[in-house]
Structure 1
Amino acid sequence: MTPLRHHDVVRPEWIDYNGHLSEPYYVLVFGDATTTLMDHAGMGERYRSETGCSLYTVEAHVRYLHEVGPDAALEVRTRVLGRDAKRLRLWHELHAEGRLVATEELMCLHVGPDGTRPFPDGVAGTLDALAASTSGPAPDHAGRAIRDLGPGR
């Protein structure tokens, strides 16, 4: 499996009052990884300006697994878990200093000026190739939801 990779470094302004990477910046880095995927799949800036189409996130599930400190080198590994004509399901894994620190699962829609649209053939082919290159069982936590605490908790 060869996931698509996005790299970044924790900036000083991303550190919270506890001395760790603040919650919204995990999502920012995951968003940049989605942009990396879009660029790779042919949905970059030029595509967006010429077609008016882009990916819209309609659902996200983030798991924060470990704290990340200042100046940490970050790597997001992205897998395409599946797609249909207009939807794309992504899995991001954020690694810092060789350790898995967070995951994000996304459901995205391909949207144009007048609503959802099918992926163009070239984009669809690239997404299918990415899905094939990272095929295998879905990650254990993919597709899971937050559970209710139950009565009395």
Structure 2
Amino acid sequence: MSTPAPFTCSAMEVEKDWIDYNGHMNMAYYNVLFDHCADQAYEKLGLGPDYASSRQLTTYTAEFHICYVRELHLGHKVHGTFQLLDHDEKRFHTFQELWHEDGWLAATGEALTLHIDMTGPRVAPFPEDIHAAVSEMMRAHTDLPRPERAGRSIGIRRK
């Protein structure tokens, strides 16, 4: 398996129903775009819909942080990137970016994802083949610079 670094998903377009009363894309739909991108990366890792139905294993997002960098509007086209920052036998930590077709950054998203045995449901180790695919992606992403926004916390900064 050849693993791009970072993984880049196919182009996506902001839809009419995603625009809020402020005239830009509602915050909920940034998550939709990040999720569509992650779905494509998960397919590459063997974690797609067939994985859940055939093996009764899946992933759950435990935590997700979004930074809104620049507004998206109706008809804007974006692509997402997906970078693996860390993993262990049951979890992975990822960072995503949404890039406008004109080359500017619209948003970033950071996630902690859990591997789940659906019969519990409970957190469970990755099977050997999936752990190998995640490890290969980690090797491909190891030399990428750590994203500036990774690991940010939310709070009011006081002097």
Check whether TM > 0.5: yes
Residue type of the alignment partner of 1:99: W
Matched, 1:102 2:107: yes
- Mark the runs of 5 or more structure 1 residues left unpaired by the alignment: none
Secondary structure of the equivalent of 2:94? strand
- Mark the runs of 5 or more structure 2 residues left unpaired by the alignment: none
Residue type of the alignment partner of 1:103: T
Partner residue in 2 for 1:119: 126
Deviation at 1:147, TM superposition (A): 2.1
Q: Which runs of 4+ in 1 moved over 4 A?
A: none
- C-alpha offsets along residues 59-94 of structure 1, whole Å, 9 cap, x if unaligned? 111000000111111100000111000011011101
CA distance, structure 1, for counterparts of residue 36 and residue 28 of structure 2: 13
1:1-153 matches, within 5 Å, as 2-6=5-9, 7-97=11-101, 98-112=103-117, 113-114=119-120, 115-135=122-142, 136-150=144-158
Q: Normalising by structure 1, what TM-score?
A: 0.91
CA distance, structure 1, for counterparts of residue 98 and residue 138 of structure 2: 18
Between the two proteins, the alignment pairs up a number of residues equal to 151
Q: Normalising by structure 2, what TM-score?
A: 0.88
CA distance, structure 2, for counterparts of residue 149 and residue 133 of structure 1: 36
Residue type of the alignment partner of 1:137: P
Deviation at 1:148, TM superposition (A): 3.5
CA distance, structure 2, for counterparts of residue 131 and residue 20 of structure 1: 35
CA distance, structure 1, for counterparts of residue 155 and residue 98 of structure 2: 23
Secondary structure of the equivalent of 1:101? strand
